[in-house]
Structure 1
Amino acid sequence: MTDDRDAAKNRLANSLDALDQTNSNRNALVCYDHAFRVSYYQTDGQRRVHHSHFINFFEDARVEMLRAAGILYKDFEDAGRMLVVSQMNLEYHAAADFDDWLRVRVELTEVRKVRMTHRYTVYRDEPEDREQTKIVTGQSVIACVDATGRPRKLPPQLLSALS
C-alpha cells in the first residue's frame, strides 16, 4: 500500500511539474470548456434537465479540466488527499432539454492553501442557438482534506503551478 501511495504522489508531482512548465496546460487549468449531449435519464417528466444534474455537470467539467492539465483525480486520492465540495451555489437562467448540446465553462478563480474556487457557466451549444443561451451559472469551493476529513494543504506543486 505504501508503494502505491508513493507512486501516486510521484505521478501527481510529475503532472503538476509538467503543468508548471507548460503554459498551454496552465491555461487549461484556468478556463476549460466541456461539451456533452443531454441524456434522457437526466430529464424530468417534461423532458427538461432536472435541476439536480447541473451539479454533476459542474463536477464532470472540473474533473475533465484537471485531466486536460495532466492531473488525475485518482492520484489525489491515492496520495491520501481528497478534493471535496465545501460550498456550492447555482442560479438557473433558462431550461435545457433532452438531446440538447450543452457546454460547461469552468474557470478557476481563486486558489488558497487548502481550497480552490471555481465559477461555472452552462450554455446551450447548438448551431442554431447563435446567442449561446446561458442556462445555469454557479460557483463552488473545493477543499483538500485527508482520509479523516481534516483540511490539508493543496500539494505545493499545484499551488506553484496555479500562482
Structure 2
Amino acid sequence: MIKVEAIKMGHESPIFQNGATHSIDFRVEYHETDGQGHVHHSKYASFFERGRVEMLRSAGLSYKRLEEAGFMLVVTEINVKYYAPASFDDLLTQTTELTGFRKVRLYHHYRIERDGQLIAEGTTTIACVDRNGQPRRLPSHW
C-alpha cells in the first residue's frame, strides 16, 4: 500500500487551488451517440470523469495511485445542462474547474464546447471515502 506521504502534490500545485482549470480536447466516438446521431445524455458523466482524471494527471497524480493509498473519490452529485447537440467525430474541448475544496469533498464545474459554442456544462460533488465507504479526509498536503 502506498503511504499518504508518498503522494506528491501539495498546495503548490496550481490544480489544487479553488478556481484552477484544466482543458482537454477529444473526439466524439461512434459508440457515444444515440439513435438520432447525437451524444447520448448519459455520456456526459464519462466526459466529466475524463476531465477530472486528466486534471489530476497533469499534476503528476493518478486515480490509481490515490486508490492504492486508500483514497476513493466517488461522485455524490452530478448536474448537467445541455445547450446544443454534439455528434460523432465532433472535436470537443472540455474545461474542468475546481470550484471548491473541503475536508472530504471536491467540487468541480465543467464546460464542453465545440468551436467555441457551448454544448453542455455541469457540476459534480466528489466525496473522499476509504475502502469501506466511510468518509476520509483528503490528504492535508492538498
Q: Quickly name the TM-score band, shorter chain normalised.
A: over 0.9
CA contact (8 A) 1:8 1:75 kept: no
Instruction: Choose the corresponding residue for 2:72, options 69, 78, 82.
Output: 82
Matched residue, 1:93? 83
CA contact (8 A) 1:62 1:106 kept: yes
State which structure, 1 or 2, has the greater radius of gyration over its C-alpha atoms. 1
CA contact (8 A) 2:94 2:113 kept: yes
Matched residue, 1:59? 49
CA contact (8 A) 1:120 1:137 kept: yes
Matched residue, 1:116? 106
CA RMSD of aligned residues (A): 1.5
Change (3 A) 1:136 1:115: same
Q: TM-score, normalised by structure 2?
A: 0.92
Change (3 A) 1:81 1:27: closer
Q: TM-score, normalised by structure 1?
A: 0.81
Q: CA deviation at 1:8?
A: 5.0
Alignment: residue pair count: 140
Distance in 2 separating the partners of 1:146 and 1:57: 25
Matched residue, 1:157? 141
Q: Can you list the C-alpha shifts for 1:104-152, whole angstroms capped at 9, x where unaligned? A: 110000000000100001101xxxx4xx110111000000000111111
CA contact (8 A) 2:56 2:63 kept: yes
Identity across aligned pairs (percent)? 45
| More helix per residue | 1
CA contact (8 A) 2:71 2:131 kept: yes
Matched residue, 1:161? none
CA contact (8 A) 1:96 1:135 kept: yes
